[in-house]
Structure 1
Amino acid sequence: MNRRLFIVMAVIGFHVLGLWALQAGLLRRAVELVIPVNVLAEFIEAPQPQVTPTPPPPEPRPEPVQKQRPVPKPAPQPMAIAEPKPAPASEAPSGTTQPPPAAEPLTASMNNVETPPAPPAPPKIEPPSSNAAFLGNPKAPYPQLSERLGEEGTVWIRAYIEPNGTASKADVSQSSGYARLDQTALQTALKWRYVPGKRAGVPEAMWVTIPIHFVIE
Structure 2
Amino acid sequence: MGCHAAQPRHGGKQVDGMHMEGMAGAERSRAGVWLMVLLLHGVLGSWLLGQTLQPAATALPTSIAVQLLPTVAPLAPAVPRPVSPTRQPPRPLPALAQHAAARPPRAPAVLAATHAAAPAASTTAPAPALAGNADTRALPVSAEPAQAPQPTSSEPGFAADYLHNPAPGYPPASRRNGEEGRVLLRVRVSAAGQAEAVEVYHSSGFSRLDDAAREVVAGWRFIPARRGGSAIASSVIVPITFRLGH
Report if TM-score (shorter chain) is over 0.5: no
Larger Rg: 1
TM-score where L is the length of structure 1? 0.43
TM-score where L is the length of structure 2? 0.38
